[in-house]
Amino acid sequence: MIKDKNKKEKIETACLIILGMYIITLGTFFIHDPLDIKDFTGFVTTEIKDLIAEDSDNIQTDLTIVDETGTKIKAFDEEVGFYARYVNVNTNKIIENAICTIHFYDGSYTMQYNPLSQLYEYTRTFSSTGLYYWNVTCTKINFTSLTKRDITIIGSISGAYKETITDVCVEDWECTEWDTCLLNGVQYRECFDLNRCDELYDKKIILHIDRGIKPFHIQSCIYQPTCTDMIVNNNESDIDCGGHKCKKCEDGKICRNDNDCINKCDLITRRCHTPKIIPPEPVIEIPYMPRLKSSLVLIVAIIVLIITIISTYRYQAELFRRGVGYYKERREIAKIRREAKIDQKKRDRIRKFREKEAERRSKIARKAAKTRLKKLKEKRKLELEREKTRLKNLEKARERREELRKFREKEAERRSKIARKAAEERSAKLAKEKEIRLKNLEKARERREELIRLEEREKEIHKTRKEEYTRTLNDFLNKTVNKGYNEEQIEQLLINKGWPEKLVIKYCDKFFSKNKEIISEIRREERLSKGDPKELLKEIKKKEKIAKKHLQELENKLLEIDKKMRR
């Protein structure tokens, strides 16, 4: 219990001065920034103007992409056309001079704008059958950039010769990759027949379909919660944020505690927010003034003036009352602690004060709940309006697709006429070329026959000359051999008469090697006719050998006959 009255007055004066400075600081803050209430109340406000400004920076657009495989069967050796339609949604006009890039598995290419069809076009071929993923991105300054994806099916049956097929079509199934697992434990994929047998059968191009086993396009799976599945799961506090696995939530998201937020969590509204740091107030030392009453009057006047200024602002007045009530409550509690004994009336007064304060706070909470409900209703209303707008856009897109389909049919018919005309011109050109080629072949055949006749005639002349030369040489060689000339003498005679030396030597060697025995017999007979004793002795010995040989053969035959007779 404080006994010194001067000390008690000094403490009261200091408390009043501190209270006045606190109220001045609050009033100054709210006057400079009267609308920034979210840092104190915890409510999250949506800046609609900023969103509208962001959306209105670029003009809204729409992109539609198609390819020729939607209406025709294309093979891996045929050209496939790809088309993109880039439209201004507000005016429903084609956006010209835009940059439209088409992306395939093997690279990216720029699409060319066709002013006649008002489409961005690109044409290419594929090296094999299968499913090919592709996408188109169109951009232009001050317009919204869009990207669309699609799949092209390339079969093994070409459109150029499909009309000649009259037998069996074999199904060739190929499927895309499995999609992500859904919440109901199922995942899907798309399967396509690359040969399009059902379509050919409906057009009566084929007689029978060889049905294969169609792959499954649906299967069961185990759903794994992720931080990007756009639902609240996996201990998340809001969609794909909060909890112990996902990233922390941004301002405005639902939270349970500060661990779920990047900044702080308002435990009253259960929303993440960024608290505004208030710089500490400077400590002003007020010296003790002897004239306490004049100081108190001046302080009360300042407080009344500040309360009058702040009361013009509803939110600031509410905060001021909250601060005053908080100060009064703390002051009452301090008094209770200082005094050892408090009578029953004071206790009742304190209890009533606390009840009023609790009732006031409950009113503030109910008012905040009503404000939140009103904002939710406005948000739902905006969502309904957006959904209506989206449905209208879908209807417009369906109409545009129908127009594009009709345009594609007309374009396909026009191209088929051009192709038929080109085929007719090509066939006429080929017929002329074939006629010219046949004439050239006939002339070449006649020239070849004439050359063959000349070659045969030349061979015949050569053969006749060869036989004549051979007969002449043989007669000459026979005569000279019979006269007793040797090989060297005969060669010298022929060379002196003008025959080629190499031919003479070669022919004489060949002649003497083949008729060696005959020539030796002729020489021996000549020597016998001249009476040469050596030759006579050789002839007698030779005949004796032949006679002995005959006698031996006769004896052998007689012995064989005796053996047979004895048996």
Q: One digit per residue, pLDDT tens: the chain, 567 residues?
A: 444 545 555 666 666 666 666 566 655 544 444 333 333 333 333 333 333 333 446 788 999 998 887 656 677 778 889 999 999 998 888 999 999 999 998 999 999 998 888 899 999 998 888 788 899 999 999 899 999 988 888 876 554 444 444 467 888 888 888 887 877 777 888 888 877 787 777 776 666 677 777 787 788 888 788 888 778 888 888 888 988 888 889 988 889 888 889 988 988 888 898 887 766 655 554 454 445 556 667 777 777 777 777 666 565 556 566 666 666 666 666 666 666 555 666 677 777 887 888 888 888 888 888 888 888 888 888 888 888 888 888 888 888 889 888 898 988 898 888 988 888 888 888 888 888 888 888 888 888 888 888 888 888 888 887 787 777 777 787 777 777 777 787 788 888 877 788 877 888 888 888 877 777 777 777 666 665 566 566 666 676 677 677 777 777 777 787 777 776
Close Cβ partners of 69 (under 8 Å, ≥ 6 residues apart): 80, 152, 153, 154
In a domain, 342, yes or no: yes
**CA distances (Å), origin 426, targets 319, 335, 432, 437, 441:** 91, 112, 10, 16, 22
User: Residues 96, 127: one domain?
Assistant: yes
- Domain boundary residue, one of 404, 424, 441: 404
Residues 302, 308: Cα–Cα separation, whole Å: 10
User: Residues 216, 71: one domain?
Assistant: yes
User: Residues 333, 383: one domain?
Assistant: yes
User: Residues 83, 200: one domain?
Assistant: yes
In a domain, 133, yes or no: yes
Quote the distance between the C-alpha of residue 360 and its chain's center: 63
In a domain, 180, yes or no: yes
pTM for this structure? Answer: 0.29
Overall domain count for the chain: 4
Secondary structure of residue 126 in the 3-state scheme: coil
User: Residues 19, 118: one domain?
Assistant: no
Burial letters 465-498, b for 16+ CB under 10 A, else e: eeeeeeeebeeebeebbeeeeebeebbeebeeee
User: Residues 204, 109: one domain?
Assistant: yes
User: Residues 477, 554: one domain?
Assistant: no
| Number of Cβ atoms within 10 Å of the Cβ of 372 | 14
CATH label of the domain that carries residue 114: 2.60.40.10
Pair of tokens at residue 119: 């489409």
Q: At what angle do helices 292-310 and 5-32 cross, to 10 degrees?
A: 20
In a domain, 187, yes or no: yes
User: Residues 203, 89: one domain?
Assistant: yes
Secondary structure of residue 187 in the 3-state scheme: strand
User: Residues 225, 97: one domain?
Assistant: yes
In a domain, 22, yes or no: yes
In a domain, 238, yes or no: no
Residues 133, 149: Cα–Cα separation, whole Å: 8
Pair of tokens at residue 145: 């950039």
User: Residues 488, 548: one domain?
Assistant: no
Give phi and psi for 222, each to the nearest 5.
-105, 120
Give the residue numbers spanning the domain of 472. 433-515
User: Residues 349, 455: one domain?
Assistant: no
In a domain, 241, yes or no: no
In a domain, 266, yes or no: no
User: Residues 106, 214: one domain?
Assistant: yes
Secondary structure of residue 317 in the 3-state scheme: helix
